[in-house]
Structure 1
Amino acid sequence: MITNILSYLDAMAQRFPDKTAIADEKTFLTFAEWKYQAEVIGTALGVATDKQMRRPVLVFVDRRIEGLVGFMGVVESGNFYVPIDCKMPDQRVKLINDVLNPIAAITTTVADDKILDLIEFKGVRFNYAEVIDNEVDKAYIADVRSKVIDTDPLYSIFTSGSTGVPKGVVISHRGAIDLAEWLVETFGFDETDALGNQTPFYFDGSVKDIYICLKSGATLNIIAKKYFTFTKLLVKFLNERKITTILWATSAVVLVGNSQILNDSVPKYIKRVFFAGEAMPAKQLKVWIHKLPNAQYVNLYGPTEITVDCTYYVVNRDFDDDEYIPIGKACHNMEVLVFNDQDKLVGVNEIGELCVRGTGVALGYYNNEIKTHEVFVQNPLHNFYDDKIYRTGDIVKYNKHGEIEFVSRKDFQIKHMGHRIELEEIEVVVNSIADISNAACIFDQEKDSIILYYTTVSGEELDIINLIKDKLPKYMFPNEVFHLRVLPYNMNGKIDRIELKKNYDAQ
């Protein structure tokens, strides 16, 4: 029985020591090299941190292999990794740092270290290029392995928080192991496959790429961001690397389909197309199906809090252009429960909140007991023993085929550009600006746009984006900004977001 995700890396380093495991645009590592460098980093972490275990370690990531080596190095030390986008505003990194109080950080560039300086980072620092020249302490590595169990934390990825403070979702080894086992066995991945990674490593969608690679021996190719701007180069890259599988954000699949590039050339080695993160319009998917009719198309659904995915749907029938692809049925070792407002299970075509139980359910939010207990709760179907479920806040229904369809959100959380965002976090940041008297966000799902309305004490318009650019990541920037003299309020004295949406639609 596998209890540590590193067992996969051990096995692949033994079976395919000289096979390319991970590759970016400029360089690559074999499985044996990946394992060795991870053990070097793990040893260095142990020495510098007095062999602490189960503590957070920041790993700065970009579209390079160094981040993936850093992840496994942290796990070799018995700790858990926290991906940090190297382009993330330093104030947001500081918020994450304050929540975690991490024992160490692994950097790659001078810019990464400057961010640590700005946030007054107190932990131990490691530069990737310098630390991998150290030696491996095999006895220490073996000792750590003997102590790690499958419910220990593996990684933490931060999502948006309604109070303005990001929430660190903590995922266990068991959650990632079950995900990898299910994906590889269900969809037949092996060492002949080549994955084309699009999802950033600070985003939970990339977890699939990483652990399919480690479990199956497939090569993980990191696609540079420029290829999604110049899509002709993208198809050329996919063919040169003989990519057999893409597990992309829905928006990326749609982007490539809309670019018309598939009319000129197609990725001829593709066998599987997975998409996740947002609802997939059938009309957009048909572009791919028409050009690659023999590929398998799979819709994956799940929030960060349940180890990436909890449902899936293999596209096996035709859809009208105005339909969305269903999110399907539960993944292996996961159970999906849909409850109405009275916590009763719903029937066909009755809407309710999607809740999840199983080994993929996160350990909670790091250092945030209040928020954890709000959504990680006892199964309302019984009270005989501890049976934790996660309330996703997603409103869904079962269709006549018994498939789950996404309907809407229950609260102010949205899915934008593949990221789950609390609109309230944007409002908190905007309201912190000196001249702002109030602010409110709404979301246009059809246009995938965040709309911000605000009022000022002075009555003057402000350059909002410029004022928030150092406090929020780009994917949280409002797409449209409107300055109002007054905001509408409802009878309860709250900002009337329904009225704002009506006015926006009318415009």
Structure 2
Amino acid sequence: LLEGVVAEPERPIGDFSLVTPKARALLPDPSRPLPPRWAGSVVDRFVEQAARHPEKIAVTAPGESWTYRELDQASAALAYALRRGGVGQGDVVAIEAYRDPRLLVAVLATLRAGGSFLLLDAAYPPEMLAERVAIAAPRAVIRAAKGNRAVIPLPEGSLPFPLGEKEEILALSDGEVLPEILIGPDDLAYLAFTSGSTGRPKGIVGTHRPLSHFFAWYAETFEVGEEDRFSMFSGLSHDPLLRDLFAPLWLGATLVIPDPAEIGTPGYLTRWMLRERITVTHLTPAFARLLEISATAKPQNGNAEPLEELRYAFLSGDVLHPQDVERIRGLAPAVRIVNFYGATETPQGIAAYPVPEEIGENPAAIPIGRGIEGVDLLVLTKNDALAAPGEIGEICVRTPYLTRGYLGDESLTREKFRPNPFTNLPDDRIYHTGDLGYYDWTGNVVFLGRRDDQVKIRGFRIELDEIRRVLRRHPAIHDVEIVLDAAPSGENRLLAYYVAEHVLPLAQLRSFLAPKLPDYMIPSRFVHLDAFPLTPNGKIDRKALPRPDAHLGGAAPFMPPRTPYEEALTEIWREILDTEKIGIHDNFFELGGHSLLATQLFGRIRETFQVELSIRAIFEAPT
């Protein structure tokens, strides 16, 4: 740096590079050629696996299993029906998603018909589903479960395809067979939505090349194969779900689906993984904590068994901490842990860090690693120069395997997907993630946080403005501020501050939001203010916002515990909900409770009272 300053004393100090020759050898070369490769589509690979071992179980769920032959025939029959119904190349097909083998049938059929799938979690609020369907304008809507009532509104001109028993799906083709559509690398494969900074969800358009590139790399890099059994834990509208669905099909392995009604029941998950002999799992750090809670719900006859057969745990979606690694290794002594990094705009994982046996002394977080094959993971300064080790910059992704960009928003696409300043070639793009990080002295990238208003809750990406926009629609609310807060447990949670003429009942606020936002976007605490504190320049002074009140109960009057049992229960509630004052009529969900915390609650109840309760009990009796 000093040599550069002496040589060019008139040059702005921010233009000088801190990258030394020694450091440069550790860092990626952003000007090297990155030619794309094409390994064929995920559908092509699935068809090959179905031909190789047709009678092997492809997917199993409570009460039913599907072989590769059955999955091949059913998806081909549904693809025939979709094409006959008018679905053409690139048309969007909305899939009402459930944890059900028919989800695989629907996804494969959409791709075989030449369409692009849009996964919509059937448990999401109706207004959110309706908004996304209106933006996507799907040509058809598939309900990927038998016997369920349709929850996605059918747009005008769209065709409904409810899926029933295997025989009913096979009958959709009337015995006819259409030739397979030739899928190209740049053909549309899917549409995915993320939270938008304008309050309107962003549609991201993905193609086939990034999907097949990731799974080809995955199969070549890790010791996984057709004997493996994969869990299905990812959220149904969360893009990591594609790893759950396609990784086993690419390998000729088996996907195992847990009972969705039992996932939150203490002890279920680890017992299920043992029973089903799960060898590979993809999960978020928050879900890893759920597994630990499940494991602590010991069976009546002794300690929970370790997950001896679990060989790989791939983590993504949020910051991975050393405590998370310890939790997973405590459950599965032989497991290999890999930290993935990516965004919906950079499909699947575009960086990976195999976590070593020895993590080192007190790292704040596990690194996100380096770019996978065909990817440069760059940390750039504000002048678009490569940052030196230890120098904080924006994490950017250079690869030919990016998505196309944002549906109907060329301006945002140009802002986030920019030409590579190191080559200035038109097809050489860099995606600017908005994440901050730095290179360590091994060349791995360490994630630090966001440079904008985007946050992560339980692995889900959220733009706070989307929550603000919905709350401002409440007729009694004049203004809103949403902030991210860390609970003593370390879990992120949302606080909502609102300006209104009087305090609004918690039940009313939550019921207003419930049809419009999924549970992970509903704030844990609501704080009434007469006016926001302001900085000298007139902006909201977030540092001056008050902490939530000690008692945040609902409409019922506060009533303290009256018996030793109630005292013990309220003490458990206080610790889990981080609320000092709990009344016996307070509602668990109105105090910020959610499914993950409910699992912790029932684990503690079992430990304290030696009784088994179904997780459904908290929904039926939430006080």
TM-score of the superposed pair, with normalisation by structure 1: 0.93
The alpha-carbon deviation at position 426 of structure 1 amounts to 0.2
Equivalent pair of 1:282/1:319 in contact (CA under 8 Å): no
Distance 1:46 1:81, change over 3 A: same
Equivalent pair of 1:376/1:390 in contact (CA under 8 Å): yes
Which residue does 2:61 correspond to in 1? 24
Q: How many residues align?
A: 498
Match of 1:58 among 94, 99, 106: 94
Query: Residue type matched to 1:452 in 2?
Result: A
Q: Using the TM superposition, name which of 188-197 and 255-264 deviates more.
A: 255-264
Partner SS state of residue 32, structure 1? helix
Structure 1 CA distance for aligned equivalents of residues 100 and 328 of structure 2: 28
Q: Per-residue CA shift, 1:71-117, capped at 9, x if unaligned?
A: 11111110100001111112111211121111110014676535425
Match of 2:497 among 453, 459, 463: 453
The reply on whether 1:397 has 2:446 as its aligned counterpart is: no
Structure 1 CA distance for aligned equivalents of residues 262 and 435 of structure 2: 33
Which residue does 1:94 correspond to in 2? 130
Structure 1 CA distance for aligned equivalents of residues 535 and 148 of structure 2: 47
Distance 1:241 1:109, change over 3 A: closer
Equivalent pair of 1:330/1:336 in contact (CA under 8 Å): yes
Match of 1:83 among 107, 110, 119: 119
The reply on whether 1:388 has 2:425 as its aligned counterpart is: no
Structure 1 CA distance for aligned equivalents of residues 459 and 406 of structure 2: 20
Equivalent pair of 1:62/1:85 in contact (CA under 8 Å): yes
Query: Residue type matched to 2:527 in 1?
Result: F
The alpha-carbon deviation at position 191 of structure 1 amounts to 0.8
Equivalent pair of 1:339/1:353 in contact (CA under 8 Å): yes
Query: Residue type matched to 1:199 in 2?
Result: S
Structure 1 CA distance for aligned equivalents of residues 78 and 304 of structure 2: 45
Structure 2 CA distance for aligned equivalents of residues 213 and 287 of structure 1: 25
Query: Residue type matched to 2:138 in 1?
Result: P
Query: Residue type matched to 2:523 in 1?
Result: P
Equivalent pair of 1:82/1:156 in contact (CA under 8 Å): yes
TM-score of the superposed pair, with normalisation by structure 2: 0.76
Q: Per-residue CA shift, 1:401-424, capped at 9, x if unaligned?
A: 222111010100011111110001
The alpha-carbon deviation at position 360 of structure 1 amounts to 2.9
The reply on whether 1:37 has 2:37 as its aligned counterpart is: no
Q: Using the TM superposition, name which of 21-30 and 412-421 deviates more.
A: 21-30
Which residue does 2:343 correspond to in 1? 303
The alpha-carbon deviation at position 464 of structure 1 amounts to 1.7
Which residue does 1:476 correspond to in 2? 521
Which residue does 2:46 correspond to in 1? 9
Q: Per-residue CA shift, 1:468-506, capped at 9, x if unaligned?
A: 111111111111211111112334433333443xx4499
Structure 1 CA distance for aligned equivalents of residues 281 and 93 of structure 2: 29
Structure 1 CA distance for aligned equivalents of residues 231 and 297 of structure 2: 17
Structure 1 CA distance for aligned equivalents of residues 51 and 477 of structure 2: 60
Unaligned runs of 5+ in 2: 1-37, 551-623
Which residue does 1:248 correspond to in 2? 283
Query: Residue type matched to 1:270 in 2?
Result: L
Query: Residue type matched to 1:190 in 2?
Result: G
Distance 1:109 1:116, change over 3 A: farther
Distance 1:31 1:320, change over 3 A: same
Distance 1:430 1:461, change over 3 A: same
Equivalent pair of 2:39/2:216 in contact (CA under 8 Å): no
Equivalent pair of 2:269/2:291 in contact (CA under 8 Å): no
Alignment of 1:459-470 (within 5 A): 459-462=502-505, 463-470=508-515
Distance 1:57 1:413, change over 3 A: same
The alpha-carbon deviation at position 431 of structure 1 amounts to 0.6
Partner SS state of residue 128, structure 2? helix
The alpha-carbon deviation at position 322 of structure 1 amounts to 6.0
Structure 2 CA distance for aligned equivalents of residues 84 and 295 of structure 1: 32
Query: Residue type matched to 1:24 in 2?
Result: A
Q: Using the TM superposition, name which of 308-317 and 222-231 deviates more.
A: 222-231
Query: Residue type matched to 1:378 in 2?
Result: P
Which residue does 1:424 correspond to in 2? 465
Q: Per-residue CA shift, 1:219-239, capped at 9, x if unaligned?
A: 010123344423422222112
Q: Per-residue CA shift, 1:273-321, capped at 9, x if unaligned?
A: 1111111221232133245332211111111110121111111123445
Q: Using the TM superposition, name which of 30-39 and 363-372 deviates more.
A: 363-372
Distance 1:136 1:333, change over 3 A: farther
Distance 1:21 1:139, change over 3 A: closer
Partner SS state of residue 350, structure 1? coil
Equivalent pair of 1:228/1:256 in contact (CA under 8 Å): no
Equivalent pair of 1:451/1:478 in contact (CA under 8 Å): yes
Distance 1:88 1:122, change over 3 A: farther
Partner SS state of residue 309, structure 1? strand
Match of 1:360 among 382, 385, 401: 401
Which residue does 2:321 correspond to in 1? 281
Structure 1 CA distance for aligned equivalents of residues 468 and 442 of structure 2: 40
Structure 2 CA distance for aligned equivalents of residues 484 and 322 of structure 1: 39
Structure 1 CA distance for aligned equivalents of residues 139 and 130 of structure 2: 14
Match of 1:374 among 398, 401, 415: 415
The reply on whether 1:193 has 2:228 as its aligned counterpart is: yes
Equivalent pair of 2:307/2:331 in contact (CA under 8 Å): no
Q: Using the TM superposition, name which of 104-113 and 309-318 deviates more.
A: 104-113
Distance 1:131 1:368, change over 3 A: farther
Q: CA RMSD in A?
A: 2.2
Equivalent pair of 1:452/1:480 in contact (CA under 8 Å): yes
Query: Residue type matched to 2:75 in 1?
Result: A
Alignment of 1:106-125 (within 5 A): 106-107=142-143, 108=145, 112-116=149-153, 120-125=155-160
Which residue does 2:585 correspond to in 1? none
Which residue does 1:133 correspond to in 2? 171
Which residue does 1:221 correspond to in 2? 256
Larger Rg belongs to = 2
Partner SS state of residue 301, structure 1? strand
Query: Residue type matched to 1:93 in 2?
Result: L
Equivalent pair of 1:39/1:136 in contact (CA under 8 Å): no
Structure 1 CA distance for aligned equivalents of residues 378 and 176 of structure 2: 45
Equivalent pair of 1:378/1:388 in contact (CA under 8 Å): yes
Distance 1:208 1:114, change over 3 A: closer
Which residue does 2:106 correspond to in 1? 70
Query: Residue type matched to 2:372 in 1?
Result: C
Equivalent pair of 1:99/1:367 in contact (CA under 8 Å): no
Which residue does 2:139 correspond to in 1? 103
Structure 1 CA distance for aligned equivalents of residues 517 and 156 of structure 2: 19
Unaligned runs of 5+ in 1: none
Percentage of pairs with the same residue: 27
Which residue does 2:184 correspond to in 1? 149
Which residue does 2:3 correspond to in 1? none
Structure 1 CA distance for aligned equivalents of residues 175 and 373 of structure 2: 37
Structure 2 CA distance for aligned equivalents of residues 177 and 57 of structure 1: 20
Equivalent pair of 2:480/2:499 in contact (CA under 8 Å): yes
Equivalent pair of 1:258/1:284 in contact (CA under 8 Å): no
The reply on whether 1:174 has 2:209 as its aligned counterpart is: yes
Equivalent pair of 2:527/2:548 in contact (CA under 8 Å): no
The alpha-carbon deviation at position 160 of structure 1 amounts to 0.5
Distance 1:40 1:331, change over 3 A: same
The alpha-carbon deviation at position 195 of structure 1 amounts to 0.6
